[in-house]
Amino acid sequence: MDSILVRGNGPLSGDIEIAGAKNACLALMPATLLSDEPLTLTNAPRLSDIKTMTALLASLGAEVSSLQEGKVQAMSCHGEINPVADYEIVRKMRASNLVLGPLLARLGHAVVSLPGGCAIGARPMDLHTTALEALGAQIELKDGYLHAKVAGGRLKGAVHKMRFPSVGATENFLMAASLAKGTSVLENAAREPEIVDLADCLNKMGAQIEGAGTSRIEIQGVDRLNGATHPVVTDRIELGTFMLAPAICGGEVTCLGGKLSLVESFVAKLEQAGVSVEENARGLTVSRKNGRVQAVDVTTEPFPGFPTDLQAQMMALLCTAEGTSVLEETIFENRFMHAPELIRMGANIEVHGGHATVHGVEQLKGAPVMATDLRASVSLILAGLAAEGETVVSRVYHLDRGYEFIERKLSGIGAQVERIKS
């Protein structure tokens, strides 16, 4: 397996381009199953997860072409559709479950394997199945597969309140309800920018969705959807990750295409820690020029709260902060697996259940460390940028699922980062 070699080398400066959102693109791509007309996505990220979704859609009968070096995904699903999403593909990525709603809406039946992904805690499918069952689906789990069907062949509008604002379940509900008969209302819906992006795309395809970005979304079902061209929203998690590079190392970096509205709660914590963030026509400019950052407490929450997908990276920053920080993880129960690796680098961290107490140290030391999941991978690279000596991060196949050309992007702002081929 490849590894990443990082050498700590002081302040960073320059511009770094932020890609389209992985989590948005992975929800937008299955929308092609809802129509027999072409769907084209621009500003697509170039990631292994996108390739996995491409393989999954192709196995279901969709035609997917990657254009302009992967930044455009051109899709069409005008032929015969296979209703079975096989385990061998689905096991590689959690977002594979997002084909369930579109298949039910288009065909009235589907067989979808339970998904895989990072081992960061339980992410139960019952939030998805209960949402779809509210629309009239009958779903049974057999031999690791969800067997779903709709009596009469077409979903029916309904009111459903989720017990937790799940992003994936909200996305599945939106896609399914777009072709359901009648009006559907989803209460306690997820409010993430990726939800708004999906609703915008579906509306371009002819759907009638109102309220995306709020906790109550109303969908008026239509008989069919047409094709569309849609740009993928900026990746707020990649944005936040790269904003942390100058925060950890010092210097000044502009994240091109960044918008404050995508990361407001995150920026509030950065500013509390003593990091400057300024929005301008080019993006977000981040700088840290005056010594160590200050300790801050962080609690992960659904959007618009602090993102769980930036918790590991924020911990890397707080390892060298002045004072003691407490991080509370409320979304996933196993999301502090990066802490022991940071401790190998000299961090002072205590983990008790869903809380991690970080006592800041003046200097981290380079060490061999192992990535445990996608966001943990990049947190160790960020820590390596601030460490004395060399850090080697192994098992970085996780990294390629969520960050495109990370060595190139970090090298472009002065970091010493290189990939070691296995």
Q: Cβ of 50: how many Cβ atoms within 10 Å?
A: 25
CA atoms of 126 and 306, how far apart (whole Å): 25
Dihedral, CA of residue 420, residue 341, residue 323 and residue 331, to nearest 10: 110
Q: Which of 135, 68, 72 is nearest to 100 (CA)?
A: 135
C-alpha span between 87 and 250 (Å, rounded): 45
Is residue 154 annotated as involved in ligand binding? Answer: no
CA distances from 268 to 190, 365, 376 (A): 21, 28, 22
- Whether residue 400 is annotated as binding a ligand: the answer is no
Flag whether 125 is marked binding. yes
Residue type, 356: A
What are the distances in angstroms from CA 114 to CA 93, 124, 357?
Answer: 10, 10, 34
Which residues of 52-158 form beta strands (DSSP E)? 63-67, 72-76, 84-85, 109-113, 137-142, 145-150
Residue 89 assigned as binding residue? no
Tell me which of 25, 77, 118, 255 is the catalytic residue.
Answer: 118
Determine whether the annotation assigns residue 331 to a binding site.
yes
126 in a labelled binding site:
yes
The residues that bridge with 398 in the sheet, in sequence order, are none
Cα(416)–Cα(421) distance, rounded to whole angstroms? Answer: 16
Could you give the CA distance from residue 168 to residue 123 in angstroms, rounded to a whole number?
Answer: 10
User: What type of residue sits at position 250?
Assistant: G
Helix H or strand E encompassing 102: helix 100-107
123 known ligand binder: yes
Say whether 127 counts as a known binding-site residue.
yes
Residues 6 or more apart whose CB falls under 8 angstroms from that of 165 comprise: 188, 189, 190, 191, 215, 302
309 is in an annotated binding site: yes
Where do runs of H (alpha helix) occur along 205-338?
A: 236-249, 264-273, 311-318
Residue of 18, 16, 12 whose CA lies nearest to 252: 12
Is there a binding annotation on residue 22? yes
Which DSSP string do the residues of 182-197 spell out, in sequence order? SEEEEES----HHHHH
CA separation, residue 281 to residues 114, 258, 382 (Å): 43, 9, 27
- Residue 118 designated active-site: yes
Question: Does residue 380 sit in helix, strand or coil?
Answer: helix
Give all strands (DSSP E) within 8-105, no chain letters.
Answer: 12-17, 39-42, 63-67, 72-76, 84-85
Binding positions for UDP-N-acetyl-alpha-D-glucosamine: 94, 123-127, 309, 331
Query: Which residues are catalytic, by number?
Result: 118
Binding positions: 22-23, 94, 123-127, 309, 331
Binding positions for phosphoenolpyruvate: 22-23
